[in-house]
Amino acid sequence: METTSTPTHCPYCALQCGMNITPLPQGGVEVTERPDFPVNRGALCGKGRTAARVLSPAARLTSPLVRSGGRLVEAGWDEALDRVAGALSSVRARGGPDAVGVFGGGGLTNEKAYGLGKFARVVLGTSQIDYNGRFCMSSAAAAGTRAFGLDRGLPFPLEDIPRTGCVVLVGSNLAETMPPSLRFFRELRDNGGTLIVVDPRRTRTAEQADLHLAPRPGTDLALALGLLHLVVAENRTDEEYIRERTTGWEEARAAAMAHWPEYVERITGVSVPRLRQAVRMFCEPESAMVLTARGPEQQSKGTDTVGAWINLCLATGRAGRPLSGYGCLTGQGNGQGGREHGQKADQLPGYRRLDDPAARRHVAEVWGVAPDSLPGPGRSAYELLDALGTDVRALLLMGSNPVVSAPRAAHVEERLRSLDFLAVCDVVLSETAELADVVLPVTQWAEETGTTTSLEGRVLLRRRAVAPPAGVRSDLEVLHGLAVRLGVEKGFPTDPEEVFGELRRASAGGPADYSGITYRRLADENGVFWPCPEVPAQDTGAAGAATGFPAPHRPAPATAHPGTPRLFLDRFATDDGRARFVAVAHRAGAEEPDAEYPLLLTTGRVVAQYQSGAQTRRVAELNAAAPGPFVELHPRLAARLGAAEGDPLAVVSRRGRAVAPARITAAIRPDTVFMPFHWPGEGRANTLTNPALDPVSKMPEFKTCAVRVELLGPRT
């Protein structure tokens, strides 16, 4: 049994804080500080500190479950895997390969995400695979790719933040969603830099800001265009930079000039003097950054919205220069790596495109299959969930809980119920697992080794620290067991390091090139930033290094590639090396308030719960801190409704109705209500949300929909 302390990383968000895990003699484990990891330097939020509670057998699944007589009952692994393989192959026999769908998650390690994508394409032959990252940062990824030719959430390490002149944080509440990262912004201000926060609510993050802009939800696109208009009007553009490092300025400039500050004030509710103040703060220092999170991204125009903020950076020469740039604060534990290695509908490993013939040839060769045998791009996450029970009749789901987290969740729940067959791999019996025909209980973070890629693009080794309880298997073992039963004997190893070795080869030469990264380097170097191509053996003298496989236990070559903490300093990743402006214009949200639904609902997070709550709702300390859903509303709106603090409110949209107690605060706009989305049942925020999709990224509009609010009876 392992008894010593192991340095590893938190299972939850994309900060991937370092922590030490020590098994205790009396059973259970202790989480302690790990000061050597530079991102959190020992600090952890409450979720990280209590993460080990979910390792306890009492909190989680320890036996496969199969549906029998309408109920889920315990079964052996062989029976459960036979049942899944049998159902998937009979659905495929009846409906063809695309009748089987696969849904993954951005919390899965790189090895699992890679394995799941390969399993879908090689074993099932289906195009119908996507994952929950589509609900997360896909608009920022699309905009980053469009402008820079490459999407890596942050093109620089967090440690650059304290040394820049100004940071604009657009729709990020990182004081609650990544608490240890607040330190970088405090240091920024201590060093004389300024922080601007753009959020319809005065959040804990906004309280730290020098300037808080509180636009109406869904109007960030207009806001960014208004700022760019002022930049031009006040002669604050960097003409030399625009000439030398960009294309498309004339069109983007013309589009911005149509957005007069007074017009933008009318749309956003942010006054012209405050717009001017923001422009001054952003443009006067030597360097500045714009960072976006889910606020501006989870909109049916999220890609253009992020594009408008990128245009602002480009026009002022604030991208691809030291201490300046645009970045997206990716959310999930492996939100970055999870979007690179092939669980996405249109993608092959290494951030390659599935419709690129050269990429297909390269990956098919690594996989030992014919390029023509690889299916084409499939549906995006919401479109896939919406198609369940129609042409997609069976689903294998790994690492997501869409019954709570998908938009228009009651409809998604109904689609899941209409499937011929649903298999769920999870650690706990999530609300989605409860609907399954077979539930496969898997090992989690501290019980298995794997790599994640943090929001900085830093590839990390998350080490195994404790033995898993009897009765659970890893996701890689599940994929192996199913592949063998479906007639593919080889190609699905269960050792994560072996999978990583293959991932390195598959990613070699792609945009997200991991070929120069080994487990050993990750252990020695506290993470390596991609791209990190392998240096050929003849350049290093290290025998066998060029084969790239098998990776395990090979020493790093003496002159190994150092990795790439900072991107774009010399050139952008486009064909001509220049960043591309995109001409964008303001447009309304998919659903604007009207007489029947006069308010805007926006949704998000609280510090003590994580996502669908499947893990954190099983931790007593976190439930004590955040026991249930609520509706945040302004005192003026509360007075109009006659509602007092804690009164039950019904929030009604065109999709349905949710009930939760009132939380009255002047920190929110009077025309907006806010609900966190962490809970199932009557307080489920996603019963209300609108699945209107961004046309480019297919991101649903989680951040705005039209609602009305009703007071339910007198307070009890």
Ligand X SMILES: Nc1nc2c(c(=O)[nH]1)N[C@H]1C(S)=C(S)[C@@H](COP(=O)(O)OP(=O)(O)OC[C@H]3O[C@@H](n4cnc5c(=O)[nH]c(N)nc54)[C@H](O)[C@@H]3O)O[C@H]1N2
On the question of a cis peptide bond just before residue 371, with omega within 30 degrees of 0, the verdict is no
Is the CB of 332 or the CB of 401 nearer to Mo ion?
332
Cα separation, 530 vs 524, in Å, equals 16
Query: Are residues 305 and 299 in contact, defined by beta-carbon separation less than 8 angstroms?
Result: yes
> Closest Cα to residue 517, out of 457, 456, 447, 455?
457
Identity of the amino acid at 426: D
Is the CB of 50 or the CB of 246 nearer to ligand X?
50
Burial 21-54 (b: 16+ CB within 10 A, else e): bbbeeeeebebeebeebebbeebbbbbbbbbbbb
| Per CB under 6 A, 15 contacts ligand SF4 | yes
In the region spanning residues 654 to 683, those forming contacts with Mo ion, defined by CB under 5 A, are none
Q: Which residue has the tokens 């399954």?
A: 436
Q: Strand, coil or helix: what is 81? A: helix
| Per CB under 6 A, 16 contacts ligand SF4 | yes
- What's the closest the beta carbon of residue 241 comes to ligand X, in angstroms? 26
Answer positive or negative: Cα dihedral of 56, 686, 216, 699: positive
Query: Are residues 647 and 711 in contact, defined by beta-carbon separation less than 8 angstroms?
Result: yes
- What's the closest the beta carbon of residue 605 comes to ligand X, in angstroms? 4
- The 165-194 site mask, x for binding ligand SF4 (CB under 6 A), equals -------------xxx--------------
Phi/psi of residue 500, nearest 5 degrees: -60, -35
Is the CB of 331 or the CB of 683 nearer to ligand X?
331
- What's the closest the beta carbon of residue 633 comes to Mo ion, in angstroms? 25
- What's the closest the beta carbon of residue 172 comes to ligand SF4, in angstroms? 13
| Per CB under 6 A, 106 contacts ligand SF4 | no
* Start-to-end CA span in the chain (Å): 53
| Per CB under 5 A, 136 contacts Mo ion | yes
Instruction: Report, in angstroms and rounded to the nearest whole number, the Rg of the chain calculated over CA atoms.
Output: 25
Is the CB of 291 or the CB of 652 nearer to ligand SF4?
291
Is the CB of 376 or the CB of 681 nearer to ligand X?
681
Phi/psi of residue 570, nearest 5 degrees: -95, -45
- What's the closest the beta carbon of residue 133 comes to Mo ion, in angstroms? 7
For 520, the token pair is 């050993």
Q: In what order do the strands lie in the sheet with 71-74?
A: 71-74, 65-68, 438-441, 421-426, 394-398, 100-104, 129-131
Give the binding range for Mo ion (CB under 5 A) out of 62-70, 327-335, 452-460, 476-484.
Answer: 327-335
Is the CB of 11 or the CB of 557 nearer to ligand X?
11
> Closest Cα to residue 167, out of 147, 146, 191, 143?
191
Is the CB of 230 or the CB of 479 nearer to ligand X?
479
Give the binding range for Mo ion (CB under 5 A) out of 69-77, 132-140, 557-565, 690-698.
Answer: 132-140
Is the CB of 437 or the CB of 534 nearer to ligand X?
437
Give the binding range for Mo ion (CB under 5 A) out of 135-143, 299-307, 360-368, 568-576.
Answer: 135-143
- The 83-122 site mask, x for binding Mo ion (CB under 5 A), equals ----------------------------------------
| Per CB under 6 A, 48 contacts ligand SF4 | yes
- What's the closest the beta carbon of residue 597 comes to Mo ion, in angstroms? 26
Binding ligand SF4 (rule: CB under 6 A), the pick from 13, 137, 329, 535 is 13
- What's the closest the beta carbon of residue 9 comes to ligand SF4, in angstroms? 7
In the region spanning residues 374 to 433, those forming contacts with ligand SF4, defined by CB under 6 A, are none
Binding residues with Mo ion: total (CB under 5 A):
3
Cα separation, 557 vs 534, in Å, equals 9
- What's the closest the beta carbon of residue 166 comes to ligand SF4, in angstroms? 24
- What's the closest the beta carbon of residue 428 comes to ligand X, in angstroms? 5
Q: Which does 176 bind (CB under 5 to 8 A by kind): Mo ion, ligand X, ligand SF4, none?
A: ligand X
Other CB atoms within 10 A of residue 487 CB: 9
| Per CB under 6 A, 605 contacts ligand SF4 | no
Could you tell me where the DSSP H helices lie in 209-260?
A: 220-233, 239-245, 249-257
Give the binding range for Mo ion (CB under 5 A) out of 115-123, 131-139, 246-254, 409-417.
Answer: 131-139
Phi/psi of residue 373, nearest 5 degrees: -75, -15
Is the CB of 362 or the CB of 703 nearer to ligand X?
703
Query: Are residues 650 and 712 in contact, defined by beta-carbon separation less than 8 angstroms?
Result: yes
Pair type for strands 438-441 and 450-453: unpaired
Query: Are residues 5 and 24 in contact, defined by beta-carbon separation less than 8 angstroms?
Result: no
Query: Are residues 399 and 440 in contact, defined by beta-carbon separation less than 8 angstroms?
Result: no
Residues binding ligand X (CB under 6 A): 13, 105-108, 132, 135-136, 170-174, 176-178, 198-201, 203, 217-218, 220, 293-296, 298, 331-332, 398-402, 404-405, 425-428, 430, 442, 444, 475, 602-605, 607, 609-612, 614-615, 674, 677, 685-686, 689, 702-703
> Closest Cα to residue 458, out of 34, 38, 143?
38
Task: Give the burial class of 94: count Cβ atoms within 10 A of its Cβ; 0-12 exposed, 13-18 middle, 19 or more buried.
Answer: exposed
Is the CB of 127 or the CB of 330 nearer to ligand X?
330
Cα separation, 550 vs 559, in Å, equals 19
| Per CB under 6 A, 44 contacts ligand SF4 | yes
Is the CB of 48 or the CB of 491 nearer to ligand SF4?
48
- What's the closest the beta carbon of residue 174 comes to ligand SF4, in angstroms? 9
Give the binding range for Mo ion (CB under 5 A) out of 7-15, 61-69, 134-142, 461-469.
Answer: 134-142
Q: Which does 170 bind (CB under 5 to 8 A by kind): Mo ion, ligand X, ligand SF4, none?
A: ligand X
- What's the closest the beta carbon of residue 254 comes to ligand X, in angstroms? 25
Sequence-distant (6+) residues with CB within 8 A of 358 are none
Q: Which residues pair with 66 in a beta bridge?
A: 73, 438
Binding ligand SF4 (rule: CB under 6 A), the pick from 6, 17, 291, 474 is 17
- What's the closest the beta carbon of residue 370 comes to ligand X, in angstroms? 30
- What's the closest the beta carbon of residue 128 comes to ligand X, in angstroms? 17
- What's the closest the beta carbon of residue 108 comes to ligand X, in angstroms? 6
Answer positive or negative: Cα dihedral of 288, 294, 298, 299: negative
> Closest Cα to residue 208, out of 232, 187, 233, 231?
187
Identity of the amino acid at 32: T
Is the CB of 47 or the CB of 118 nearer to ligand SF4?
47
Cα separation, 48 vs 59, in Å, equals 16
Q: Which residue has the tokens 């074993």?
A: 123
- What's the closest the beta carbon of residue 327 comes to ligand SF4, in angstroms? 17
Cα separation, 124 vs 117, in Å, equals 10
Is the CB of 41 or the CB of 274 nearer to ligand SF4?
41
Task: Give the burial class of 171: count Cβ atoms within 10 A of its Cβ; 0-12 exposed, 13-18 middle, 19 or more buried.
Answer: buried
- What's the closest the beta carbon of residue 154 comes to Mo ion, in angstroms? 15
| Per CB under 5 A, 331 contacts Mo ion | yes
C-alpha atoms less than 13 angstroms from C-alpha of 47 in its C-beta half-sphere:
28
> Which spans of this chain sit near ligand SF4 (rule: CB under 6 A)?
10, 12-13, 15-17, 40, 44-45, 47-48, 178-180
> Which spans of this chain sit near Mo ion (rule: CB under 5 A)?
136, 331-332
